[in-house]
């Protein structure tokens, strides 16, 4: 079974996102071996740039050899679900590598994390709260799994 990793900043707080993410995590785990790292939010009193730097250091400390970092960013590639499915297939087919999706905190990602990323994708042209972005990503990756298995979940 192919592996997919996730690195997120902050714990889920809202019940809708906690329940939704648990729902799609369980469904997604039918298709992929999932691994997750949660980075603690930087202290609230820090200036935004310092928060991003501290969270970025935490993110980069969780990266393993062979990880393909894919950040979610407002300037990332626009993809359809089928395009994402093709990319995930390519990333999971790579020997000794695993795709690792990264979602930053409320203030985004540090420049260091952006530089370390091999790919950047967006979920929407609109700005999303990071908890909702996490839920959307898990749903889309579940959709990817159903596309790979030719299951009737995705409709063109």
Contact present, 134 and 101 (Cβ < 8 Å): no
Q: Provide the CA 35 distance to its chain's centre, in angstroms.
A: 11
pLDDT in tens, the chain (156 residues): 899 999 999 999 999 999 999 999 999 999 999 999 999 999 889 999 999 999 999 999 999 999 999 999 999 999 999 999 999 999 999 889 999 999 998 889 999 999 999 999 999 999 888 899 999 999 999 999 999 999 988 776
On whether the pTM is more than 0.85, the answer is yes
Ranges of H-type helices in 62-149 = 81-93, 111-116, 130-148
C-alpha to C-alpha distance for 136 and 94, rounded to whole angstroms? 25
Distances (CA, A) of 98 to 3, 33, 69, 101, 107: 6, 10, 9, 10, 26
C-alpha to C-alpha distance for 116 and 129, rounded to whole angstroms? 23
């Amino acid at each position: 079974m192919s592996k997919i990793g996730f690195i997120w900043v902050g714990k889920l707080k809202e019940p809708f996102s906690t329940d939704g993410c648990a729902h799609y995590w369980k469904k997604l785990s039918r298709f992929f071996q999932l691994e997750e790292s949660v980075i603690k939010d930087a202290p609230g009193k820090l200036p935004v740039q310092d928060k991003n730097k501290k969270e970025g250091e935490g993110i980069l400390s969780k990266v393993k050899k062979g990880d393909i970092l894919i950040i979610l960013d407002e300037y990332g590639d626009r993809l359809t679900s089928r395009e994402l499915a093709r990319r995930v297939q390519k990333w999971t087919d790579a020997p000794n590598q695993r795709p690792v999706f990264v979602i930053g905190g409320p203030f985004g990602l540090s420049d260091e994390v952006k530089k370390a990323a091999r790919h950047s994708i967006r979920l929407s042209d609109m700005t999303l709260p990071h908890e909702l972005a996490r839920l959307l990503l898990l749903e889309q990756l579940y959709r990817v799994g159903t596309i790979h298995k030719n299951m009737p979940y995705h409709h063109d």
